[in-house]
Structure 1
Amino acid sequence: MRLKPEQFATHLQGSLAPLYGLFSSEPLLLIEAEQAVRGAAARAGFAQTEVWTVEPGFDFRRLEEAQHSLSLFAERRLLILRLGAGKPGDVGGKLLQAWAAQPPAEVLLLVTGERPDAAAQKAGWFKALESAGAVVLFYPPEPRQWPQWVAGRLRQAGLRASAEAQALLAERTEGNLLACVQAIDQLRLLSAGAEVAPADVLAVIGDSARYSVFDLADAALRGEARQALHILDHLRLEGIEPILVLWALTRDLRLLIALQGRRTDPAALWREHKIFGPRQELLQRVARSRRSEDLIPALRLCARLDEALKGRAALPVWPTLAEVALRLAGQHGLVRRET
């Protein structure tokens, strides 16, 4: 069965499934989910825990041995198989399917790894986990959900925080779940039951926001001009190569212009560029609201900047990227900032 993340904690309070698949691109969420299963397994009488990390040369035949052999004194045990960013491959996939077809009563299998793409979710081993056990895909909070996520974490830690402190913590850690949780742990030690103030937040954390070029493009598509510039500044300070930023902005400009073409098949664009779910809806909505007369000059500016990055033209790189981002966000008349 496929469980939603919000159903997971309640599920673990009842009878456990014979095997679990937990997947996320966010390490913190995966660590916490694994710990939750460990706790539930211990309560259910699984006294031993074995952790196998899949690395180059890992022998998946160990699964077959574990499936058909009893542990010493027949103790129930939890077996954690960490795939990481990899996949089980043909041999591992077949052995996982064999395990799912006949899971041993004395061994609870937990498979963890990065969130698989759409193709991997159609693979036999993944479907076997889903059919015989419980699979959960954990997603990090989206930017618009981030303040609520931070507020929830503060409540979970038993902390009271002023609105200013909460907003500051959200701003300084945006997108960086681990930094946020670590800061909250420190605040819990420092607050001694008092309300958390902005000065307390500044005392435990600098600016740990973490962004990618995709966050920049998404903010621009949503029309969040100020947020787009904030993210762009972070990318510059983190040393992200300008060519990667340019690629992300250029791709979305081309997609929008293509979507505005009458003969364009959106489904073909999604397949070609591997765009899924909510982002499809976002691009289609923006394509309807933006004018091609505004998008085409922005794409031309991208071409000029590409020439500049190759040393064939003179153009201020980061101010030009800011201008492209603002044009993508539907803003005009930017006065370029020197860097």
Structure 2
Amino acid sequence: MKLDYLQALKRVDEARGVWILHGQEPLLEQNLLDAFRASWQKQDIERQRYDLNSVSDWKNVFNALNSLSLFSSQLAVEVHGNIKPDASTLKQLKSYIQHNEQNLLLVVMPKQDNNSLKSSFFQLIDANGVNVALTANYPKDRQQILGLEAEKLGIQLGHDAWQWLEQHHEHNLLAAKNSLMRVSDTFPEIQQIQIEHLHACLQDQSRYSTYDLNDALLTGNLAQAMKIFQYLMASGEAMSLILWSISKEMRLLMQLFEQPQNALQLGIWKNKVSVYQQALRRLNPNSFLQWPALLLRIDAAIKGMSKENPEHLVLQAITELCGKTLFASHSA
């Protein structure tokens, strides 16, 4: 079964079997995970988390699903990574689906390409579980999602204000949510937010944004990128948003290197194509091999899943994107 984000939110409490969440919208992923975790706590469902670093890690997942603790009657296993099961592990997945009706296997993956979505793993989940694409491709969808965020804050936006917010953040839902929080804090007595409130609040408080950081990274301006990063940290910008921004540029550059003729199809704006092409000429493609692991390390550090310093790792990513080296690439 395929569900979108809003449909999935309504079914969290009844989730059993196997669910997969995939996409590159950190706001949608975090909101759904928060909803799942709150639901498990409310229902006294034991939660375990596993991170996939190799195919063999799937064996640990199924061992967990098949062995409840003495104090639990239900189990939710949360799995993060981009490694699909191999043939033998797929058999275990089929067996789990057929015989384990009370537990939940929740798999969280980054955005998948069309070939991946046609794989036997996704076909099995489409037929026997729940497949949630964390996307919001249309303005109506984004406004509906952000409308729920505004409702949580007790504010409403006028029609023109929605359009301004959409254009200001270039469809970045997490950045838009942060702006809603900022305008709500700045004008606590106003429920109906208009363009002038957004403009005054965001222009006054955002001397630099993650978009300025991206521009500095793509042009290889390390000094400016460091300055903007330090400003963002001092102004309380969410580390998850900074990671999302850096991750987006790294993935676009890697994709463009593999598909140099498909810049527009990859989502690069027409007036930015030459900037990305120049960045590729400046960078050493061999460095791309280290980027996915570095992004995973940053994510783990932000979530407190490792002892590494997330700021140090983000600085490493910034220097990598600028074509320089700041820290050694191996784990501390």
Give the structure-1-normalised TM-score: 0.55
Amino acid at match of 1:174: E
- Distance, in Å, in 2 between the alignment partners of 1:242 and 1:148 is 37
Aligned residues: 230
How far the C-alpha of 1:180 sits from its partner, in A, is 1.4
How far the C-alpha of 1:192 sits from its partner, in A, is 1.1
Give the match's secondary structure for 1:50.
strand
How far the C-alpha of 1:80 sits from its partner, in A, is 0.2
CA contact (8 A) 1:12 1:37 kept: yes
2:133 aligned with 1:137, yes or no?
yes
- Distance, in Å, in 2 between the alignment partners of 1:113 and 1:242 is 30
Amino acid at match of 1:10: K
Name the CA shift for 1:9/1:170 in 2 (closer, same or farther; >3 Å): same
CA contact (8 A) 2:16 2:101 kept: no
Give CA deviations for 1:15-56 in whole Å, capped at 9, x if unaligned. Answer: 33322122223232222222222233333331x211111124
Give the match's secondary structure for 2:104.
strand
Q: How does 1:293-332 map to 2 (within 5 A)?
A: none
Higher alpha-carbon deviation: 149-158 or 1-10: 149-158
2:27 aligned with 1:23, yes or no?
no
Q: How does 1:249-260 map to 2 (within 5 A)?
A: none
Amino acid at match of 2:200: A
Which stretches in structure 2 are left out of the alignment for 5+ residues?
212-244, 281-332
- Distance, in Å, in 1 between the alignment partners of 2:159 and 2:205 is 17
Amino acid at match of 1:81: V
Amino acid at match of 2:171: G
- Alignment-derived partner of residue 7 in structure 1: 7
CA contact (8 A) 1:172 1:208 kept: no
Q: How does 1:65-214 map to 2 (within 5 A)?
A: 65-83=63-81, 85-103=82-100, 105=102, 107-142=103-138, 150=146, 153-161=149-157, 165-194=161-190, 195-196=192-193, 197=197, 198-205=199-206, 206=208, 208=210
- Distance, in Å, in 2 between the alignment partners of 1:21 and 1:145 is 20
CA contact (8 A) 2:55 2:84 kept: no
Name the CA shift for 1:117/1:235 in 2 (closer, same or farther; >3 Å): closer
How far the C-alpha of 1:188 sits from its partner, in A, is 2.3
Amino acid at match of 1:16: A
Amino acid at match of 1:89: D
Identity, in percent, stands at 18
Give CA deviations for 1:294-328 in whole Å, capped at 9, x if unaligned. Answer: xxxxxxxxxxxxxxxxxxxxxxxxxxxxxxxxxxx
How far the C-alpha of 1:155 sits from its partner, in A, is 4.0
Give CA deviations for 1:216-266 in whole Å, capped at 9, x if unaligned. Answer: 83799xxxxxxx9xx445566xx522487xxxxxxxxxxxxxxxxxxxxxx
2:264 aligned with 1:217, yes or no?
yes
Give CA deviations for 1:166-212 in whole Å, capped at 9, x if unaligned. Answer: 44332221132221122222222222132541201323445556796
- Alignment-derived partner of residue 264 in structure 1: none
Give CA deviations for 1:71-117 in whole Å, capped at 9, x if unaligned. Answer: 1323432110112x332334443332332232263x32111112433
Give the match's secondary structure for 1:74.
coil
- Distance, in Å, in 2 between the alignment partners of 1:183 and 1:129 is 36
Q: Which runs of 4+ in 1 moved over 6 A?
A: 210-216
- Alignment-derived partner of residue 289 in structure 1: none
- Alignment-derived partner of residue 52 in structure 2: 54
- Alignment-derived partner of residue 37 in structure 2: 38
Which stretches in structure 1 are left out of the alignment for 5+ residues?
221-227, 245-339
Name the CA shift for 1:74/1:146 in 2 (closer, same or farther; >3 Å): closer
Structure (1 or 2) with the larger CA radius of gyration: 1
